[in-house]
Structure 1
Amino acid sequence: MRSISNLKWQATVGLLCAFLTSSLFAADSLHFVALGDTGSGGPDQKKVAEAIAKYAETNKGSNAVDFVLLLGDNFYSDGVKTVDDPQWQDKFEKMYDAKRLPMPFYVVLGNHDWRNDAPDAELEYSKVHPDSRWKMDGHFFKRQFPSKPDNTNTAPLVDFFFIDTEAWNTKSPHISAYPDKHLGDKQMAWLENELKASRAKWKIAVAHHPLYSNGEHGHDAQVLELRKRLEPLFKRYGVNAFITGHDHDLERIEVPGHPTLFLISGAGSKLRKQTYDEWKPFYASQLGFLAVELDEKEMRGEFQNVDNQVIDVWKRISTAASQATVRK
């Protein structure tokens, strides 16, 4: 018969192994929500906010939502003027219940956020209110998860590249009025350098304007120009997903032969009807949001509407995992 001390030792080892396994899993997985075109402050924005809160409440513990992505047009119709603008409370702080959604919100700018010629107010808010959930490090910035890999030989799970696609809109009077006349050029050089240097298992770009869309903006000159600008980089450096808003709908677009999955989640407070039927496999003109989970082997996602009904489900296998399967 085993001694009591031996049983206690085995129990302790078992708990330690379980803790380490849990910690490793937490470091090697990620769960986030994405939505854009949110800043109406009206009842439809509130419906989507409530649906996200319910979703977060049903996903707790090891599967909790780590953060939220806001995909631009954060304040309709003309952005905010200062860090003290009342819209901060009405359209963000109070709109997304801090008790039910306490996680960080990583944010990019949209075209409407430029219209007061004060886009930097949204950047400054993070600095003036460091305790806020609102996180915007600049017009373009990177976030890496885990943020501090355990050693220099460990590749991070995912790199997120947040970009300001409106900064490349040379026809915009708001861009022309911006003090830094080289903002777009600096962003382009930064993006290529960061993509080239990334060792992450997953690379995800986040912005406001899409490259492909079946919505109203699908054939806009600006969108087509962005496609020429960004598509070569995405192909060259293996960007796994491009998450955007701008068109007020939910879309999943898989372009044949393209490594990038194009995801549009622009139904955060407004809707438009479908304009084109060129890209497959999913389109919905419904208020809702995108939810994504990923680990080293695969990325899984779904679109949910404001009734928390799942209206689309998808999965992508990582390049490393698929190569390992082939070798077996």
Structure 2
Amino acid sequence: MRRWLSYAALFVAIAFTAAGLGWWFHTPHGPWLVHDRPLAGQRVCAIGDGGWGNPASLAVGQALVTLGCDQIRYLGDLVYPDGILDANDPLIDSRFLPPLQPAVDAGIPVYMVLGNHDWKQNGEAWLEVARRHPLIHLPHFYYFEQWPDACAFSLETTWFEKWYYFHRQINWLTASQQMAHAHGCQFSLGFAHHPMFSTGSHGNAHEMINLGLKQKLIGHLDLLVGGHDHILSDEGEYQDTRQLISGSASITNDLGPASNAQHFTRATHGLITLDFEKTDAGLRVDYRFYSVLGNPQDPLITLLWQGDQNGQGIR
């Protein structure tokens, strides 16, 4: 009897170990969104960290319409300070939706990633929030998009900060990059809450992102756009990958030491626009940083800095 129990315990242990290893090494299939309209000719606008729903964020929200955005990328920290409890949390109506309302009313789609503050309570609830609003998109915590002329990876970086699903998202990213390369991609983008390089007081990405994620992005994509640090910043190129930061939709913070390749940084409320155009060499983006100040209904919008980046696709 004892021997039978020992064999049974060993079998259960082996089964649990095999299941755990299968979960760890399995490559999950994140959503693959296919857009029929080319990205060339579109204006993509990036905002981040607007989760207070304060007058500054309302002014930035109005600027999204004034500047004629075709789509919006919201780079996380959707509700401060601790995210939401569930999809019926009143903070959704008081802090999350008000800055986006002018854009939603204008029919502009919003694509999101989550930030570290969005995981302090119930990060899963944001999937349901997006399902309830047709123009607000969060199909999964990480997902891939393909246009006829470009591709984008929206990433979940807080998991890397805390080891959550660390290996699984890397497997998905590797497989998605291979598929995107096979399909052809003239311009490659990454959208994430945590930037890889930052002049803001939060500084560069922490150890786990450096170990597991940065090496999969830097030198492989054309453009990375992040938030987290509450600044506007062009951190320059690293191995032909340019890092931009737009994390000042509702608050600003102090600046830290300049990164090695940093071109521009400002601690002011605002956003980034990305204008994509087709050239003889492929696809190019003209990016612009705007400060947004004053009256939320009629904000003062000022061009601060601009640059451009040529696309090479997936490398």
Q: Which moved more, 1:200-209 or 1:79-88?
A: 79-88
Distance across 1 between alignment mates of 2:170 and 2:38: 33
1:95 and 2:99 matched: yes
Deviations for 1:145-168, whole angstroms, at most 9, x for unmatched residues?
2xxxxxxxxxx2111111110011
Match of 2:63 in 1: 51
1:214-225 equivalence runs, <5 A: 214-219=199-204, 223-225=206-208
Counting only pairs closer than 5 Å after superposition, residues 73-152 of structure 1 correspond to structure 2 as: 73-96=77-100, 97-98=102-103, 101-116=106-121, 118-127=122-131, 129-131=132-134, 133-145=135-147
Report what 2:271 is aligned to: 289
Q: Deviation of residue 204 (structure 1)?
A: 0.5
Deviations 1:263-285 (CA, angstroms, capped at 9, x unpaired): 10001100012111234101011
Asked if 1:232 corresponds to 2:215, the answer is: yes
Alignment partner, residue 324 of structure 1: none
Closer, same or farther: CA 209–261 of 1 in aligned 2, 3 Å: same
CA RMSD of aligned residues (A): 2.1
Matched, 1:41 2:45: no
Indicate the residue corresponding to 2:158 in structure 1: 166
How many residue pairs end up in the alignment?
262
Kindly indicate whether the alpha-carbon contact (under 8 Å) linking 1:212 and 1:223 is maintained by their aligned counterparts in 2: no
Contact residue 210 and residue 223 of structure 1 kept, 8 A = no
Aligned to 2:284: 298
1:289 touches 1:304 (CA, 8 Å); kept in 2?
yes
1:71 counterpart = 2:64: no
Give the direction of change, closer, same or farther, for the CA distance of 1:293–1:54 in structure 2 (3 Å limit): same
C-alpha displacement of 1:26: 6.0
TM-score, normalisation: structure 1 = 0.74
What residue in structure 2 maps to residue 209 of structure 1? 194
Question: In 2, distance between residues paired with 1:247 and 1:25?
Answer: 32
Query: Highest relative contact order (Cα 8 Å, sep 6+), 1 or 2?
Result: 2
Q: Is the 8 A contact 1:29 1:157 kept in 2?
A: no
The alpha-carbon deviation at position 82 of structure 1 amounts to 1.1
Match of 2:245 in 1: 264
Structure 1 counterpart of 2:236, which letter?
E
Alpha-carbon spacing, 1:227–1:27, altered in 2? closer, same or farther (3 Å): closer
In 2, Cα distance between equivalents of 1:302 and 1:209 = 20
2-structure distance, mates of 1:26, 1:278: 33
CA shift, 1:130, in A, is 4.7
Q: Which residue of 2 aligns with 1:61?
A: none
Q: Is the 8 A contact 2:227 2:245 kept in 1?
A: yes
Say which of 171, 176, 188 aligns to 1:194. 176
Equivalent residue of 1:254, what SS? strand
* 8 A contact 1:214–1:277 mirrored in 2: yes
Distance 1:134 1:115 in 2: 21
Q: Does the aligned pair in 1 maintain the 2:38–2:150 contact within 8 Å?
A: no
Indicate how the Cα distance of structure 1 residues 36 and 98 shifts in structure 2: closer, same or farther if over 3 A, else same. Answer: closer
Matched with 2:14 is none
Contact 1:251 1:265 in 2 (8 A): yes
Unaligned stretches of 5+ residues in structure 1: 1-23, 57-64, 146-155, 176-182, 321-328
Q: In 1, are the aligned partners of 2:76 and 2:193 still within 8 Å (CA)? A: yes
> Quick one: distance in 2 between partners of 1:167 and 1:316?
29
Query: Following the alignment from structure 1 to structure 2, what is the Cα–Cα distance between the partners of residues 28 and 81?
Result: 39
Partner of 1:149: none
Separation (CA, whole Å) in 2 of partners of 1:270 and 1:166: 20
Q: Give 1:49's aligned amino acid.
A: G
Structure 2 letter corresponding to 1:187: Q
User: Aligned in 2, Cα 1:223/1:109: closer, same or farther, shift over 3 Å?
Assistant: same
